[in-house]
Structure 1
Amino acid sequence: MTAAAPTDVCIIIAAKNAADTIARAIASALAEPETAEVVVIDDGSTDDSASVARAADDGTGRLKVVRFEENRGPAAARNHAIAISHSPLIGVLDADDFFFPGRLGQLLSQDGWDFIADNIAFIDAAQAANAHGSIDRFAPS
């Protein structure tokens, strides 16, 4: 596979009762220059996940939020997000996670892949709010 164009990735986020973390996840995805769109599926949340997600919109028109009235499970939410995506590449982000700056660019810079993944960094929830803004690049040792 050849390298993707700079804005070819759809980030899909399945969310259930994620009002406390969804804005950070969306902001990190929208901050990546390779992100063409972010599709959030609120999977029957009983909190304000959908409205918090909509409020995280950066005004670029790349965010779409769909709400399931009842819980269908994360696989159904992700499958629906993929079905309504317009991008040739898909990235999965959990509603309680976030991307380190530059993550997508680093992944897409690799040659010859059909599927690509990298290491995960575990960060204490109390430190997560500060971690996104203070880490410029994650490089596994």
Structure 2
Amino acid sequence: MTATANTTRATTSNVGALIRTGVAATVAASIATMAVAAVGHLAGISLELGGAPIPVTGFGVLTAVFSLIGVIIAASLARFARRPRLTFVRTTVVLTVLSLVPDVIADAGAATKALLMLTHLVAAAIVIPAVARRLAA
């Protein structure tokens, strides 16, 4: 019974560390995507999609939402997957690639599409490795 209690505590503290790391990575990724969008806009790239402007803060908000979903996925995998790190990395890489599809077909100029895709890749490059490091191999 003591072994079970220790295992539960270890799992709980690992999940807590995973969530803290995930939230910190989410904040960093949100700031980074807003910076990329702002720099792109200052360089003359339109932030209009289908004729409607995308606010720079919108990049940060959407990055936070989807990054936190990734943290929830990671926490679930930490609990239920046989190889949580590998499963998380594979899953999030596929989801990142799929997230580029709407950008490719968006009603926007080529530079805007490229900027949108870059923000996805920047966020993934920050969040995926940070969270994966907290998962058991």
Q: Which of the two has greater helix per residue?
A: 2
Question: Which of 1 and 2 has greater Rg?
Answer: 2
Tell whether the structures are fold-level matches, with TM greater than 0.5: no
More strand as a share of residues: 1
